[in-house]
Structure 1
Amino acid sequence: MSFKSFVRNNPVYKCYILPLRQKYNAYVESKLDDEMYFTRRHKKIFGYTPDFKNPQTFNEKIVHRILYDRNPLYTALADKLKARIYIAAKLQNLALGGGEFSPLKDTDSLTTKSSSQESSQNSKQTSASRDTKATNPAQEDFQATQATTDLSAQDGVRDTTQIEQRFQALAQDPTFLDSSVSSSPLFAPIGSLTQLLFETNICPFLPKLYGIYKSVEDIDFDTLPQSFVLKTNHDCGGVVIVPDKEAFLRDSKKFSEAMEKLTKHLNTNFYTLYREYHYKDIEPRIFAEELLGERTQAPQFPSPDSKKIEKSDFHKSFLPLCDYRFHCFNAHIGFIQVANPTHTHNNLFTSHWQPLPIAYLNTPSTQSIPKPHKLDSMLEVARHLSSMIDYVRIDLYYIVGERVSRIYVGELTLTPNGGSARFDPELWDREFGTLWNLTHTDTKTNKNNHNPTPKHEIDS
């Protein structure tokens, strides 16, 4: 054991010195502006001082986006609720293509099941909008649309054809991704989008949305199914898995801890923790969503992870799922990252499922990872969602059922790990950086880009 390891494992260091160091570092970082904060952090992790205005590596370009490319679209896509609208619209043509991509026919999923408080507030707002002319034409259009859908929702069933046409129209609207035009729902207040958010249940690539709440007190558990997930829309880690509602509600300790966790996340602005700017202005909500993996044979990693999960949050009728993360560069698949269910291992592949000899963030799993049977379809979904964006990570789940296999979109990630995940060998950080052609031009970037050509074919 080295002297450094000996000191760090010493109880005196752990109990007294380390907490003081952590407090001191937190104090120092609190006094830094964002650029100095990321420069200090990068030097500590990677061992050199970066030039974020002229980024070369993949991680440097992530931080460049955080610091200088503050596109409001990134805030909309980081919002796990608004991202559903983007996903449903962008994949609508796929959803109408038939076969595996045929739309869901479960009309019950189109019924609004949000919390009574938020839905009643929205109803009052739309009712008032019929009596008073809205000052914002875009808001007037949304309120008029919502008033119409609220009336039809009283019957409990929505016209799926109209909903499909609505998402098709959004996808074809040239202003859909333009924050300067306020008619796009991606930039509208979250409280005005309740009905549209529930209409995203028509998208076969999304888990069912069961409820949207402003606080834990608004959650009506009687309206929720036997299994579900509670999440916060504005950050990372605000997740409570409920595989068995009755057991969850009976366990007062576990229930109380879950509500405290959600409340803490709801009241925390994620930007203040890690300085990722696009999280700063997301309107926080809790939402209930379908728990995936019930009674399926999903691709999974053997014994160690499965046993850990089964002993904690998962019921025996649920299987842990792999997380397939497609790193996309303007619809070009740079590499695929497969995270095991407990997110302790990452394996990287090309778009042709050729293993890459790289450790990224975590060590690769020694278990064999089979190629998903519907990999081509997953690639197509990722390409559709990443078009028009110079870089985004598309997180997918692939679930193998008894009769049909399903692809689900988990989330869209604009700045994975905040630009702090190391590659081993390190040269891959620079080589993957060459795939990212920055479209943001407020600062001079890549003026003297002498990055080497990647030594391995990443995609063709």
Structure 2
Amino acid sequence: MSVKVSVIIPSLNSINYYDECIKSVMNQSLKELEIICVDANSTDGTLELIKEYQAKDERIKLIISDKKSYGYQMNLGIAAASGEYVGIVESDDYIKEDMYKRLYEVAKQNDCDIVKSDFFIFTDTRLDYEKVSRFDEFYNTRLNALEDFRLFWTNGINQIGICRLDLLRINQIRLNETPGASYQDNGLFFQLFCFAKSIYFLNEAFYMLRRDNPNSSVHSKEKVYMACLEYDYIRNFLQKYPNFESLVAPICAYHRYGNYIFTLERIDDKYKKDFLKRFREDFMKIIYNGELKESLYTPSQLCIIKEIVEDSDAYYYTHICPLKNTAKRSGAVLRVQKQLSYRLGFELLKTKSFVKILSLPFRIYQQIRNFRLERKIYESLSAIDEKFILPPLEDYMDFGEALETKKHLSYRLGQALLKNPVLFPFKIKNIYKDFKAYKNAPKRIDFKLETISDEEYFIKRHEEVFNYTPDFKNPKTFNEKLIHRILYDRSEIYTFLADKLKGRIFVAGILSGSKDILKKDSPLYKDIDSLKEELLKTNECKYLPKLYGIYENIYDINFSILPDSFVLKTNHDAGGYVIVEDKKEFLKDTKHFSESMRKLKEHLEKNYYLIFREWHYRGIKPRIFAEELLKNEENGLLDTYKFHIFDKNDIKNNYIQVTTDRFDNYQRTMMTSSWEIAPFNFIYEIPTKIPPKPQSLEAMWDLALQLASPFDYVRVDLYQNKDKIYVGELTFTHGAAMEQLVPSEWDEKLGVLWNQKRLVDVTK
């Protein structure tokens, strides 16, 4: 019999799946096969099972490997093969009966070195169709990877196809013989695609790839450096072939990055810090060798590489290290340290020798140049995709530490230098004096959130942030009154309106003229799960984004009925959102999809009250909802206008917080009712540039005042797109009552504007 396809099945202790696997190969409609079983001395009965089938089917060859190495076993199988083409089936997978017949037919008809097809990924509970290529034009035509590098972005799974045996033999293609079964197929993929003259993709699916084998290497938390070894192997292979080394090396670096990120997510926490050091070393070499082709990476990927290369330990403690009693996202401190003020101040503090003094102008110029370049990258890419926009600093769990970082001497010096370089030398003495007084102030008390009362927590936190002991029962400043509201005005209405879903009912009710929306028989008092019809009815309100669905957990989300673009949000906290611009691409990118679902799940399980003790968040029943994705004409996020309403009778006593830039140097501008820059700001210095005035400003004021009508103070968040206005949310405790005013006396001035009453009295 002339063998058309040699099928290699490497195995080690696969008894739970092997019977299904080998039967699917034996029962192929293409009978001219040889089945090469390469077993690494299994001890669970797999080896005995192979021998049983070998006695029944003369096409089965058994090779017993003396090494437990996937690469070594595959090399043994290739050496023993005699067919025109070679296929691979993993011992925990199986294939449909026409797979090799169809692949062989296509290979012969089109004289192809490689033919690959779509495939299925399955578990006990689900079955997903996966495409070998996301480029439709790649199907049903002959291709060459060195002529179109996009082929290296197709699915690298080798088992879903066949390749010509001569391709392997003539080019001496071998797999890396590292121990175990981890990543060795990456090297095979690169070698095959570099040497193949003709590659063909078939839009039919035959291969069944299992993803619920607990012994699979993709689940191993202990295999730390296997990806490193494999990509070193690939890089060494490329060095032997200068004709395509310079072309393929940047692609190899990109695939190395993806596998390193996957490894970082997979391995046990105890290995992550050391692995990041290896990550840093390898990418420093890649950058030095000019193999980091930036056009291959997204801006967020480049940021990750930059942070790891600059300081892998800082990246670990900022992004990886698990924190107790906080959400996982941190990074506000690092962002403050990357601001120009801090960077310039840091250079000034390093100037302690004559040589350093001489080099100071150059170092300052270099920092300014680098900062502007980074800003330009972010600004250029923001218009492409809003997922690269960093959230406001206050959304981070180390926001309080970031505020503290702004008090560091580095930040103070740099800020003064930027504000007025000419007068800076005359201000240094006072800056040092103020900093010394700050450092010599009494040490603040550390406290654990769960061990003290709300009142004790807020007193101690206020002492930390504002440097004085407050009297919340007799509040005078704006922030004191916010905390007074949290501690002593615990109306359930605040809880209802902090719920982003119930907030829609309030907005629709108020704007439709309802006078009973806050009364006891209002829908606001009902359980959220009984309000689905009421909530969907809010889509009739032209000021609200469209609501598509409400879900108890991530598994309830029916993506098939959602539109092409949308945003998924949690209703009970801050930062719980996932933006989906292209549903098809989102569902196809399994890594991004999994990360997004994990993020939503974490937020869903988080009690937001425990973050900053804002009482009204405690009683919200967590839900996920899908909502319309609001974009401007440039396909970017809409500008945000946050109306701080203190006085419904005199508009001059109210202010607008405008957010038009949410990048690394996040800033906000406080505006007056006449669209002039207000003489204060929250946290940040008062900017000098006036943001563009919204064309519907007057209508926005009317809307904000209408929504604020039942309350003595509220922040109403609005968005504008052309002449269309949308309501975001109502906020009753701005900044969790921990944002300092600049200048500080405005904390008391805003407190004077706020004629505070208990909500039960206000709404009578």
Q: State whether TM-score is above 0.5.
A: yes
CA distance in 2, matches of 1:22, 1:262: 19
Q: Alignment partner for residue 637 of structure 2, among 287, 305, 320?
A: 320
- Cross-structure match for 2:728: 410
DSSP-derived class of the 2:729 partner: strand
Q: CA deviation at 1:247?
A: 1.1
Q: For 1:340, give the aligned amino acid.
A: T
Write the mapping of 1:25-424 to structure 2, written as runs, cut at 5 A: 28-92=448-512, 168=513, 171-173=514-516, 176-178=517-519, 181=520, 183-293=521-631, 296=633, 318-329=635-646, 331=648, 333=651, 334-342=654-662, 344-365=666-687, 367-400=689-722, 405-424=723-742
Residue 22 to residue 240, structure 1, CA distance change in 2 (3 Å): closer
Q: For 2:648, give the aligned amino acid.
A: A
DSSP-derived class of the 1:240 partner: strand
CA distance in 1, matches of 2:713, 2:606: 27
Percent identity among equivalent residues?
A: 47
Conserved? CA contact 2:711–2:759, under 8 Å: no
Conserved? CA contact 1:330–1:388, under 8 Å: no
Conserved? CA contact 1:346–1:363, under 8 Å: no
CA distance in 2, matches of 1:20, 1:36: 27
Q: CA deviation at 1:361?
A: 2.6
Residue 323 to residue 21, structure 1, CA distance change in 2 (3 Å): closer
Superposed CA RMSD in Å reads 2.7
- Which of 1 and 2 has higher RCO (CA within 8 Å, sep 6+)? 1
CA distance in 2, matches of 1:368, 1:441: 35
Q: For 2:754, give the aligned amino acid.
A: W
Gaps of 5+ in 1: 1-8, 93-167, 298-317, 443-460
The structure whose Rg is larger is: 2
Q: For 2:749, give the aligned amino acid.
A: E
Q: CA deviation at 1:20?
A: 12
Q: Which runs of 4+ in 1 moved over 6 A?
A: 19-23
Conserved? CA contact 2:478–2:747, under 8 Å: yes
CA distance in 1, matches of 2:529, 2:546: 19
Report how many residues are paired: 324
Q: Name the TM-score, length of structure 2 as normaliser.
A: 0.40
DSSP-derived class of the 1:388 partner: coil
Q: For 1:335, give the aligned amino acid.
A: Y
Q: Name the TM-score, length of structure 1 as normaliser.
A: 0.66
Conserved? CA contact 2:462–2:468, under 8 Å: yes
Q: CA deviation at 1:324?
A: 0.2
CA distance in 1, matches of 2:324, 2:536: 44
Conserved? CA contact 2:612–2:736, under 8 Å: yes
Gaps of 5+ in 2: 1-310, 326-444
Q: CA deviation at 1:28?
A: 2.9
CA distance in 2, matches of 1:280, 1:249: 33
CA distance in 2, matches of 1:82, 1:222: 26
CA distance in 2, matches of 1:412, 1:84: 10
CA distance in 2, matches of 1:259, 1:21: 20
Conserved? CA contact 1:346–1:361, under 8 Å: no
Q: For 1:195, give the aligned amino acid.
A: E
Q: CA deviation at 1:435?
A: 1.2
1:388-439 Cα shifts (integer Å, max 9, x gaps): 2011100000111xxxx10000111010111100111101110011111111
Between 353-362 and 29-38, the greater mean CA deviation after superposition: 353-362
Conserved? CA contact 2:491–2:759, under 8 Å: no
Q: CA deviation at 1:351?
A: 1.1
2:752 aligned with 1:434, yes or no?
yes
CA distance in 1, matches of 2:477, 2:600: 36
Residue 356 to residue 194, structure 1, CA distance change in 2 (3 Å): same
Residue 222 to residue 365, structure 1, CA distance change in 2 (3 Å): farther
DSSP-derived class of the 1:172 partner: coil
Residue 234 to residue 330, structure 1, CA distance change in 2 (3 Å): farther
CA distance in 2, matches of 1:441, 1:87: 18
Residue 362 to residue 244, structure 1, CA distance change in 2 (3 Å): farther
Between 29-38 and 44-53, the greater mean CA deviation after superposition: 29-38
Residue 385 to residue 255, structure 1, CA distance change in 2 (3 Å): same
CA distance in 2, matches of 1:441, 1:223: 41
Q: For 2:551, give the aligned amino acid.
A: Y
1:231-261 Cα shifts (integer Å, max 9, x gaps): 0001111011111111111111111011011
Conserved? CA contact 1:330–1:389, under 8 Å: no
CA distance in 1, matches of 2:553, 2:725: 31
Q: CA deviation at 1:26?
A: 7.5
